[in-house]
Amino acid sequence: MACERTLAFIALVGQERPDFRTISDVRKLHLEVCKDVFVQVVRLAGEAGVVQVGTVSTDGTTIQGHASRHKAMSYRYMQKAVERLREELEAVVTQAYQQDAAEAAAVGSRRGDAWPAELARRADRLVKIEAAMHRLAAHAKVEAAAERQRRAEAEAERRRTGKKRRGKIPPPGVDTPDDQAQRNWTAPAWPSMRTNNKGWEYCGNAPVSVAAACQIILACDVTDATHDKPQAEPVAPATLDHLARAGIERPKEASGEAQAIPATLDNGSDSEAAVEALERLGFDPYIATERQRHHTPGAEASAPPATAQERLAAKVRTPQGRAWYARRKVIVEPVFGQIKEDRGFRRFLLRGLANIRGEWRWVCVTHNLLKLWRHACALLTVEAEERMPEVSHMALCRASGLR
């Protein structure tokens, strides 16, 4: 629209005016190129002084996938559908053999070799349902292994502290999917996740790592995990890799060694593996192990912490830990609000995990570019106010066309 009505845009594009498909085609055709563009934008932000390696905050948000909730099937219904389709296929094949024999007796060798349409349709349906059943079975095995690991850690903690188990012993985890577990046909990669409106949608989990200075996104990803515990470990090395490729150096100690980067995460990431991975990569994690209550005195440590969770809880209770962790809600949470509320990005438009990761990367690139643009506009406004102190800030914004 601007390339047809605004003189400045018309002078830039000339006769090469993009049509309504241009933005969509750029987004779909250049998903791999966006990886280098993301790093180049981070480099520009570092050169502009917008990125400072201080506190890095990591969190994830749920974004709805391009899938219909009506195109889904439960595991129990999949089993029934597979049995029904196999019976129908056997009946159709038997009928086809009988028809082929009758045609061969009537016309000899002059007959077609194509499959009947009803046979091809049922065979294709059977393949899709069995693939969905295999995905549900693999997901159930992963969840069962994670549940066994969690129970083993909880049992070891109870033995160490001498606490008794409350309630009944939970039944052993099973590796088979639940009968109510579902998979969607339009977007098989997405599980059903609980949304903010207390509903259920097929969504993806989109974690980001944000620098504290001007809310520049340093790394991003999209996964099908329904919680944030496995997100800290892959996002952290991506953050360091992007900083290194962008030429942004970490602050160093007096001895010349790189300082540990304070990393704040919410209480969904308090796992032993996440803490070990962050500390091994050179981060100083501050993760809440429980919901913090306001205006409550800090508990005195009676014994040195023995586990990673106790160590994190003790570190967050210190004045420095409270100060670091309090900054998390003003670093990463506003980024999701700006993307979802201000820009209206609430749903992925592509399908397939690789394509959706590229789409989310484009969203994060444009977020960083908007931060750079507003930072440059703010510098120009400050410079103009210093030269013309009698002109108000609102008048300068109106004169420059900014809002």
The pLDDT tens digits for 287-307 are 877 665 655 555 454 556 666
Per-residue pLDDT band for 108 (boundaries 50, 70, 90) equals low
Residue with tokens 């549940």: 147
Residue 316, token pair as written in the block:
């967050």
Question: Tens digits of per-residue pLDDT, 134-189?
Answer: 777 887 787 788 778 778 877 787 787 778 777 777 777 777 777 777 777 677 76
User: How remote is the C-alpha of 227 from its chain's centroid?
Assistant: 10
320 pLDDT more than 60: yes
pLDDT at 155: 79
Question: Tens digits of per-residue pLDDT, 219-276?
Answer: 999 988 777 777 778 888 999 999 999 988 887 777 778 788 888 888 766 677 788 8
Q: Where are the domains of the chain?
A: 1-26, 31-67+189-400, 72-184
Q: CB within 8 A of 261, min separation 6: which ones?
A: 53, 54, 55, 56, 250, 282, 283, 284
Rounded Cα distance, 45 and 248, in Å = 10
Strand partners for 56: 211, 263
First vs last C-alpha separation in the chain: 19
Q: Indicate the average pLDDT of the chain.
A: 78
Q: Supply the pTM of this predicted model.
A: 0.71
How many other CB atoms are found less than 10 A from the CB of residue 106? 9
Q: b/e per residue, 159-172, with b = 16+ CB within 10 A?
A: eeeeeeeeeeeeee
- SS3 annotation, 248-295: CCCCECCCCCECCEEEEECHHHCCHHHHHHHHHCCEEEEECCCCCCCC
Per-residue pLDDT band for 38 (boundaries 50, 70, 90) equals very high
DSSP output for 227-244: SSGGGHHHHHHHHHHHHH
Residue 361, token pair as written in the block:
């990367």
State percent of the chain over pLDDT 70.
84
Residue 79, token pair as written in the block:
């089993």
246 contacts 46 by C-beta, under 8 angstroms = yes
Residue with tokens 């997901």: 139
Per-residue pLDDT band for 118 (boundaries 50, 70, 90) equals low
Rounded Cα distance, 205 and 190, in Å = 9
Rounded Cα distance, 260 and 27, in Å = 36
318 contacts 309 by C-beta, under 8 angstroms = no
Tell me which amino acid residue 272 is: E
pLDDT at 402: 46
* Sign for the pseudo-dihedral over CA of 11, 17, 22, 26: negative
Question: Tens digits of per-residue pLDDT, 362-397?
Answer: 999 999 999 998 888 887 777 776 776 655 555 545
